[in-house]
Amino acid sequence: MSFVDEVELELVAGDGGDGCVAFRREKYRPLGGPSGGDGGDGGDVVLVARTRLGTLMDLRYRRRIAAERGEHGRGKDQYGKAGADAIVEVPIGTQVFDRDSGELVADLDVPDEPRVIARGGRGGRGNIHFATPTDRAPRKAEPGTPGERRAVRLELKLLADVGLVGFPNAGKSTLIARISRARPKIADYPFTTLTPNLGVVHRDVDRSFVVADIPGLIEGAAEGHGLGHRFLKHVERCRALLYVLSLDPEPGREPARDFDTLASELSRFAPELAARPRLVALSKADLPETRAAEAGLREALHARGIEELHVFSAVTGAGVGALLDAIERLLAQHPERPAPRAEPLE
């Protein structure tokens, strides 16, 4: 599977170079004095979020990332060269946790903003800094300080405005393919979508929002059943959720019960998701049995406090425009993105 959203790394910043003890040995300057230069600073390990990346696949087999150490100082007042930084590019939405303490170190949610995760050591001072009126020939210099070493865990949580949640084969992939340029795999069997898909919905020149298609949830997803536990974390950063329901021939399944199951699984995974702004939609409106079930579902949802049900067909396009209008209105009412979880998932 090419979608990788968790990796563990050892980040090693560069050590600082040692300062130098040296003296001038030049003709006609017998009292030239100290000339030992400073050591260079060690390089930092820097993470940068890039919009063009959508997975941590490039880091899957890189267990250790190290920056260059600083050069030692030299005579003739020559300072050591600073070590080069190690620049690591990650997708937007990557969170960095300390592997041992579980502390959130950084949340990379701003594109192209560099974040220093492991800081390089400082170069030591050469003996040119220690000359005094009483000690004109100091024979001491400072060693460079070691760079930071951190064992970290990187978790990618997709940054989308709207997360599509629903049972397998509910029509989420067909919807995101209809409203954006995303091209997920679509087929008439469960768990067709094995990885999350992102799509940008353009409504006008300056109006757009990002939709995430989360692989189908089933009952028990919060405990790891099916694919839900692995990908549920990707709805944590969504400003709103769209519950996509559909009629299903499986015995014991009906849309209202599916809604209850989805809401329960999301709440058990992260209680704050129960209060997340949401819309409910019934897909596959081109089927006669869907239209026949619409009135009963509206009544059942009304009893659960859901005032509005959007019915659409991603195949014919019926009702899709009205659904997108409703999503835009909801996002306008909730412009703030949810705060990141302060601890990693178990």
Q: How far apart are the C-alpha atoms of 40 and 72, rounded to whole Å?
A: 6
Q: Is the dihedral of CA 330, 336, 337, 340 positive or negative?
A: negative
Asked if residue 230 has pLDDT above 80, the reply is no
What kind and span of H or E run contains 11?
strand 6-12
Model confidence pLDDT, tens digit, residues 99-133: 999 899 999 989 999 999 999 999 999 999 999 98
Q: Write down the pLDDT at residue 318.
A: 92
162-166-169-174 Cα dihedral, nearest 10 degrees? -20
Q: Classify residue 3 by burial, with Cβ atoms within 10 Å: 0-12, 13-18, 19+.
A: middle
Model confidence pLDDT, tens digit, residues 197-222: 778 888 887 788 888 887 766 555 44
Query: For 314-329, what is the mean pLDDT?
Result: 92
Is it true that domain 162-333 has CATH number 3.40.50.300?
yes
* Contact present, 179 and 313 (Cβ < 8 Å): no
Q: What's the one-letter identity of residue 52?
A: R
Q: Write down the pLDDT at residue 207.
A: 82
Q: Which residues are CB-contacts of 133 (< 8 A; sequence separation ≥ 6)? A: none
Spatial strand order in the sheet of 114-118: 86-91, 45-50, 114-118
What CATH superfamily is the domain 1-156?
GTP1/OBG domain (2.70.210.12)
Q: Which residues are CB-contacts of 327 (< 8 A; sequence separation ≥ 6)? A: 162, 201, 209, 240, 242, 279
Length of the chain: 346
Q: Which residues are CB-contacts of 171 (< 8 A; sequence separation ≥ 6)? A: 244, 246, 283, 284, 314
User: Which two structure tokens, joined as six digits, stand for 168?
Assistant: 């397998």
What kind and span of H or E run contains 293?
helix 288-303
Q: Is the dihedral of CA 213, 219, 222, 223 positive or negative?
A: negative
Q: Write down the pLDDT at residue 272.
A: 85
Model confidence pLDDT, tens digit, residues 5-32: 889 999 999 999 999 999 988 777 777 7
How sure is the predictor about 249, in pLDDT bands with cuts at 50, 70 and 90?
low
Q: How far apart are the C-alpha atoms of 55 and 28, rounded to whole Å?
A: 65
Centre a 10 Å sphere on the Cβ of residue 114 and count the other Cβ atoms it contains.
13
Model confidence pLDDT, tens digit, residues 277-306: 999 999 999 989 888 889 999 999 999 989
Q: Which residues are CB-contacts of 38 (< 8 A; sequence separation ≥ 6)? A: 17, 19, 20, 73, 79, 80, 123, 124, 125, 126, 129
Average pLDDT over all residues of the chain: 85
- What pTM, to 2 d.p., does this model score? 0.73
User: Which two structure tokens, joined as six digits, stand for 36?
Assistant: 């030992």
State the span(s) of the chain assigned CATH 3.40.50.300. 162-333
Task: Return the percentage of the chain with pLDDT > 70, whole number.
Answer: 87
State the span(s) of the chain assigned CATH 2.70.210.12. 1-156
Query: For 54-65, what is the mean pLDDT?
Result: 88
Asked if residue 142 has pLDDT above 90, the reply is yes
Q: Classify residue 128 by burial, with Cβ atoms within 10 Å: 0-12, 13-18, 19+.
A: buried
Q: Write down the pLDDT at residue 343.
A: 54
